[in-house]
């Protein structure tokens, strides 16, 4: 694997899952693979799980880690070409990415959507600039439109907890007080489309995901109907794609409750975290045995380690 920005960068999903499960069982089996290699994890936005799991995964493979909170600790970086840099930005991405590439063999980048300019966000300017100028393998730690490490961990979790060959997986929008990007739902849909699952997406009207992600996936606007017979409920908030970045609804009737979970086939509850209690999901559901959010988060290590493994193997 050369880069890891989306499922399109994965040569074989089957092989990636196999190595993830192997590394879960034997996390230190390939601890010499990353010897004398450094991964630099660059954060333009906050993180708990991605930062810590990516560090832990690197350590398991014998790699050194540099964590760089660009938003707080660096010069402000200019992304546009051919600009007169007489504003706040002191450094251009061309030099910044190229220099970081001198210090690390692999680079991870987290850069969220601005939710101001749909075209710019969906062009993935930050991530693609690192690909263009760093000269190193680039791993998305969540970009403007996708969160592939999360999606891989989600798939590992579904494989572990499923009780039938083709479970029904429901991605449900849930209310949130702020505008959130579409990266997690976009990515989840992208990965589930190629996974052995029956995928249904449910959300209020106006929250349709970008056509290139949703394609012909079943969308059910009646949340209760969508939940019927579900084996997994994956809750997530996202802002509108069509009215880009807007919060069109905060309808609390979309919150995941125990009553709604009773409509399912004893479904497991999933969320990428962080999650707002009693906004997205009730305490009762999140604290119940049906919630698998902690093993889901734990699988972030296996996901990151499997991606590092495949990149290190092809270097």
* Closest of 309, 315, 314 to residue 22, by C-alpha: 309
Both structure tokens of 20: 């993830």
Nearer to ligand CP, 118 or 146 (CB): 146
Contact residues for ligand CP, defined by CB under 6 A: 47-50, 142, 150, 272-274
Both structure tokens of 181: 């990007």
The CB-of-50 to ligand CP minimum distance in angstroms stands at 3
Rounded CA gap, 54 and 228, in Å? Answer: 36
- HEC string of 159-206 equals HHHCCCCCCEEEEEECCCCCCCCCHHHHHHHHHHCCCCCEEEEECCCC
Rounded CA gap, 227 and 21, in Å? Answer: 29
Both structure tokens of 216: 């012909």
Nearer to ligand CP, 50 or 282 (CB): 50
Give residue number: closest CB to ligand CP.
50
Contact 77, 89 (CB under 8 A): yes
Contact 286, 258 (CB under 8 A): no
Tell me the β-bridge partners of 66. Answer: 40
The CB-of-229 to ligand CP minimum distance in angstroms stands at 27
The CB-of-245 to ligand CP minimum distance in angstroms stands at 18
The CB-of-271 to ligand CP minimum distance in angstroms stands at 9
The CB-of-112 to ligand CP minimum distance in angstroms stands at 9
The CB-of-301 to ligand CP minimum distance in angstroms stands at 12
Nearer to ligand CP, 187 or 282 (CB): 187
The CB-of-296 to ligand CP minimum distance in angstroms stands at 9
Nearer to ligand CP, 78 or 307 (CB): 307
E strand or H helix at 25? helix 13-25
Nearer to ligand CP, 78 or 121 (CB): 121
Contact 73, 105 (CB under 8 A): no
Nearer to ligand CP, 206 or 274 (CB): 274
Nearer to ligand CP, 54 or 129 (CB): 54
């Amino acid at each position: 694997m050369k880069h890891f920005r989306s499922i399109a960068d994965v040569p074989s999903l089957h092989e990636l899952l196999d190595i993830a499960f192997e590394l879960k069982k034997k996390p230190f089996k390939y601890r010499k693979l990353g010897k004398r290699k450094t991964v630099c994890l660059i954060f333009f936005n906050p993180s708990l799980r991605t930062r810590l799991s990516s560090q832990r995964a690197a350590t398991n493979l014998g790699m050194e880690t540099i964590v760089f909170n660009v938003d707080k600790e660096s010069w402000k970086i200019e992304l546009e070409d051919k600009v007169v840099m007489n504003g706040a930005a002191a450094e251009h991405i061309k030099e910044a990415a190229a220099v970081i590439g001198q210090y690390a063999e692999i680079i991870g980048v987290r850069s969220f959507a601005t939710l101001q300019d749909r075209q710019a966000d969906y062009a993935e300017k930050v991530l693609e600039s690192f690909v263009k100028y760093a000269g190193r393998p680039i791993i998305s730690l969540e970009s403007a439109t996708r969160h592939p490490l999360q999606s891989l961990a989600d798939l590992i979790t579904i494989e572990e907890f499923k009780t039938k060959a083709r479970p029904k997986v429901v991605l449900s929008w849930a209310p949130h007080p702020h505008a959130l990007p579409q990266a997690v739902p976009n990515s989840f849909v992208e990965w589930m489309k190629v996974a052995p699952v029956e995928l249904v997406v449910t959300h209020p009207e106006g929250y349709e995901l970008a056509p290139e992600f949703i394609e012909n996936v079943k969308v059910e606007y009646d949340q209760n109907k969508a939940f019927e017979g579900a084996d997994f409920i994956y809750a997530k908030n996202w802002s509108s794609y069509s009215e880009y970045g807007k919060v069109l609804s905060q309808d609390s009737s979309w919150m995941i409750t125990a009553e709604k979970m009773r409509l399912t086939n004893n479904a497991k509850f999933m969320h990428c975290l962080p999650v707002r209690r009693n906004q997205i999901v009730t305490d009762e559901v999140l604290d119940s045995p049906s919630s698998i959010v902690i093993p889901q988060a734990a699988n972030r290590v296996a996901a990151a380690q499997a991606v590092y493994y495949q990149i290190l193997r092809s270097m």
